[in-house]
Amino acid sequence: MSNQKIINIAVIAHVDAGKSTLVDALLKQGGAFRDNQEVVEQIMDSNDQERERGITIYSKNCAIEYKGTKINIVDTPGHADFSSEVERIMKTVDTVILLVDSSEGPMPQTRFVLSKALELGLNPILMINKIDKKDQRAEEVVEEVLELFMELDATDEQLNFTTLYGIAREGIAQLSLDEKGIDLSPMFETIIEQIGTYPIELADKPLKMQVSSLAYDSFIGRLGIGRIFEGKITEGQTVSVVKNNSEVKQAKISKLTVYQGLNKVNVKEAYAGDIITFAGIDHISIGDTINELNNINPMEPITIEEPTMSMNFLVNTSPFAGKVGKFVTSRNIKERLEKELEVNVGLKVKPLDNPTIEGFKVLGRGELHLSVLIEQMRREGFELAISKPEVIFKKGENGTLLEPMEKVILNIPTEYSGTVINKLNQRKGLMTDMDSDGVRDKIVYNIPLRALIGFRSEFTNDTHGEGIMVRSSNGFEAYKGEIESRKNGVLISMAAGKTLPYALNNLEERGILFVGPQVEVYDGMIVGQHSRDNDLEVNPTTGKKLTNTRASGSDDSVKLTPPKLMTLEEALEYIEWDELVEVTPEDIRLRKRWLSNTERRQHRNDNKKVFE
């Protein structure tokens, strides 16, 4: 590979602004595919969960070529829970394309990712996407983005950003709203003119590169991914690895690859400016610097914001434990979490304070961040029990208790606003802005993160599925006091066996059922939500007593209301501190922490702190 012209860019935006769709278009017009090749949409979202959820979870690299210049592209997540993926790759790029919806305007996550880019001195290129929308207001959105730049203390050079308008789905970009675009040429030209290629002369300096991401290959082991800032690197080269704690180790690069389209291509050497993947260093970590042997010049460590939420990952102790899962022991869970720590920098794992409980406290950036890990473990054959999500508090300078806050933007039909506002006020939320067009209201709240645990399902019900809620981290503030938790109790099975229609029919008047007929249950398993505020023990396995008498109509088949089947996220939001979510490769169940009635009575005065 020759020492060619290189530019590295990242595409950043809020969820659903069209990042992955734009990357698809860049790849197609950059010649990454054959003319007759079938290409799936959002091709960079290759992970199963990314496709199912319709979001980007992991940042990924690809490369295209335009007029002799290689352009490395990084597709980044747009959800706040995966912001650690965004933070660490910002240092590997020369600029960012900030994608903003022409109707929605800048959203909470837009602010976060933009602030990281501006802090590193990058000069973003703004693209107003989806200008074909009927309700597009592109000119107003540009003004809103400019205001956001000023709020984030952008420099004069950064404020003088180039604005493009386009339709990512059709692969179109244009320099003004009036002209008619035909392809993404204006974007390619803007990137090359505004940013310029990485200085080729830096390839003559001693090697300096930093690891920004990790991967794993079952044949060659751990892989390091990062950008070469200075010098060149050669396959088989012996290098110095400067760890984050300043320790220096020697290692040998055994394999070297660069990106070409969506593929990794083996090369003998790579030069300053390029993003590479290398093998051979089994102790490599994110933030480590690679230098030439005996020429130590470490870079600033990559700092990641602290986790804001924790859950306990416990060994499954239900009567159904081990029936379908392959990995069920504490050792299995520990090994899997240690493996995840190697590539998931936003995650932390700690031992539980109570040594009698088998499990680990796992800290992450939010419910979605942790639930994606749980879902992945479940698909790999793990069984485990998960505790209620808990926010992570911290102490202020004068000893005051601080808690994480969230900025929430709600877009809801006007008729449902009163209910939603009332509930957010009860949860210690503070309304900071409200706007209405007579049909839908846009409401902005500053609210404690713990107040939003369990709120999404309520919000969906209260707005009849028509409400939109987006949220992002908004720093720490003084503790807001107690917040009322779930108002309803639960229906607890007092027997083991298969549920029967006759029993479930009688239980429907008691509340909302979570199980249908012919479902295996056990003593202590939660089978529904009680219509009142107390827990109620029930027997969902009771059958109809048989007699010799037959009455007209009495033996008609029972018609049951379909049960409420919870997703993993809904189950985690729903439970209280004395309840657990049992996760297996086939089922998601809710259960009481103590299964028998006797145990529950013994522990009813316990404090949840015992189990943290």
Does residue 68 have a pLDDT over 60?
Answer: yes
Confidence band, pLDDT 50/70/90 cuts, at residue 77 = low
388 with 576: CB under 8 angstroms?
yes
> What is the pLDDT at residue 18?
77
Average pLDDT of the residues in 539-555: 65
38-47, 389-398, 490-499: range with highest mean pLDDT: 490-499
Domains of the chain are 5-198 (3.40.50.300), 201-292 (2.40.30.10), 394-478 (3.30.70.240), 490-611 (2.40.50.250)
Tokens 């992945």 found at: 376
Q: Are the CB atoms for 267 and 48 separated by under 8 Å?
A: no
**Separation CA 31–CA 82 (nearest Å):** 30
Q: What is the dihedral of CA 436, 441, 442, 444, to 10 degrees?
A: 110
Helix 108-119 to helix 138-151 angle (10° resolution) is: 50
Binned at pLDDT 50, 70 and 90, residue 602 comes out as confident
User: How far is CA 147 from each of CA 64, 101, 143, 150, rounded to the nearest angstrom?
Assistant: 33, 16, 6, 5
What sign results for the dihedral spanned by CA atoms 191, 196, 200, 205?
negative
At 456-471, the pLDDT tens digits run 778 888 888 888 887 7
pTM > 0.85? no
| CA distances (Å), origin 455, targets 390, 420, 427, 464, 589 | 14, 10, 10, 14, 20
Q: Which of residues 34 and 415 earns the better pLDDT score?
A: 415
The verdict on whether residue 19 carries a ligand-binding annotation is yes
The tokens for 209 are 């590169």
User: What is the structure's pLDDT at 611?
Assistant: 47
Q: Is pLDDT of 35 > 60?
A: no
Backbone angles phi, psi at 337, to 5 degrees: -70, -35
Quote the distance between the C-alpha of residue 383 and its chain's center: 22
The answer to whether 130 is annotated as binding is yes
What's the distance, Cα to Cα, between the start and end of the chain in Å? 54
Provide mean pLDDT across the span 434-443: 87
Q: Among candidates 209, 221, 299, which has minimal Cα distance to 258?
A: 209
Examine the pLDDT at 431 and tell me if it is beyond 90. yes
DSSP state at residue 493: E
* pLDDT attached to residue 85: 60
DSSP H or E stretch at residue 424: helix 417-426
> Where is average pLDDT lowest: 52-66, 257-271, 594-608?
52-66
The confidence score (pLDDT) of residue 146 equals 92
Q: Is the pLDDT of residue 52 over 80?
A: no
Residue 78 has pLDDT above 50, yes or no: no
What mean pLDDT, rounded, does the chain reach?
83
Q: Is 132 annotated as a binding residue?
A: yes
Cα 162 from Cα 170, distance rounded (Å): 21
Which residue type occupies 605?
N
Q: 21 labelled as ligand-binding? A: yes
Q: Which residues pair with 611 in a beta bridge?
A: none
pLDDT tens string 557-579: 678 889 998 888 889 888 988 89
Confidence of residue 497 (pLDDT cuts 50, 70, 90): very high
Residue 131 known to bind ligand: yes
> Across residues 27-36, what is the average pLDDT?
62
| Segment 139-161 mean pLDDT | 90
Residue 17 annotated as lining a ligand binding site: yes
Name the DSSP letter for residue 562: P
129's tokens: 């996407």
Pick from 37-41, 230-234, 334-338, 424-428: least confident: 37-41
**% of the chain exceeding 90 in pLDDT:** 27
